A = this chain, B = another copy of it.
Amino acid sequence: MDANEVLKAVKAGTMSVEEAEAFFRRKPFEDLGFGKVDVHRKLRTGAAEVVWCEGKADDHLLRLYEHIISSEGEVLGTRATPHQAELIKAHFPEAFYDPISRILKIEKDGKLHRGLICVCSAGSADLRVAEEAALTAEFLGNKVLRVYDVGVSGLHRLLSKLEEIQKANCIVAVAGMEGALASVIGGLVSKPVLAVPTSVGYGASFHGLSALLTMLNSCANGVATLNIDNGFGAGFMASQINLAICQGGSHE
């Protein structure tokens, strides 16, 4: 149960005020010894803590998954190895692992997907980052349109999909090498573009630096940039934007 559900339960009368108070008396993070799980994060920032799996020891990873599932009912992990996927699946057979994006997640059933986020990628090697963004956005409750392999060296591929892209509330543009995709899309749509440089390339791509600078210098407006290979971050922020649009704003 998460904070939102507790509050709704109180409103609905299915939980007493005393029980709710007990819930909130828990201190805002719980110390597992090797790290503090940020229990109130969903309340504060709109989403539960996500597990960065890379480099986590087996037992730490398992305890994190167990802890978050017990409080949230679901969990999203990124940069998981096949070994970590085996480990979690052994305890949670319902876990899903995608070897390309390295997402390892356990998800509630019947999740509603709202609005529309479009994830575009330039080359087939950018897929792993694009899918990290797409799967993150879906986990967080967004509809996702994937438009892959539409790099600027063959513009017709992108232009043929333009009408669909323009329907999205937010676009994630993933590209390595020269990273021009974000600028080109930014000039063709009226929606915010979250640009993700990837480390795809060689030589003067300097592990993504070239694409990063390209995106920061975009001559098109409405483009902001995430860290190199940060597909998760783009999916997360696209979700913030798309879901806020779906709900409509409180100010007028």
Contacts and interface: CB of A to CB of B under 8 A. Distances in A.
Interface residues of A, number: 101
A28 interface: yes
Given A149-B36, A157-B36, A180-B184, A216 B221 contact: no
A227 B197 CA distance: 14
A230 interface: yes
A67 interface: no
Count copies of this chain in the complex.
8
Contacts of A7: none
A123 B217 CA distance: 13
A203 B54 CA distance: 14
A217 B229 contact: no
Interface stretch (A81-89, A103-111, A238-246): A238-246
A66 B150 CA distance: 22
A4 to B, nearest CB: 11
A216 B222 contact: no
B240 A216 contact: no
Nearest to A181: B180
Interface string A144-163: 00001111111111001000
Interface string A109-144: 000001110000011110100000000000000010
Interface of A: 27-29, 34-36, 38, 40-41, 44-47, 50, 55-56, 60, 114-116, 122-125, 127, 143, 148-157, 160, 167, 169, 177-180, 183-184, 186-192, 194, 197, 199, 201-230, 233-234, 236-237, 240-242, 244-252
Closest 4 CB pairs of A and B: A203-B228, A46-B190, A180-B180, A248-B248
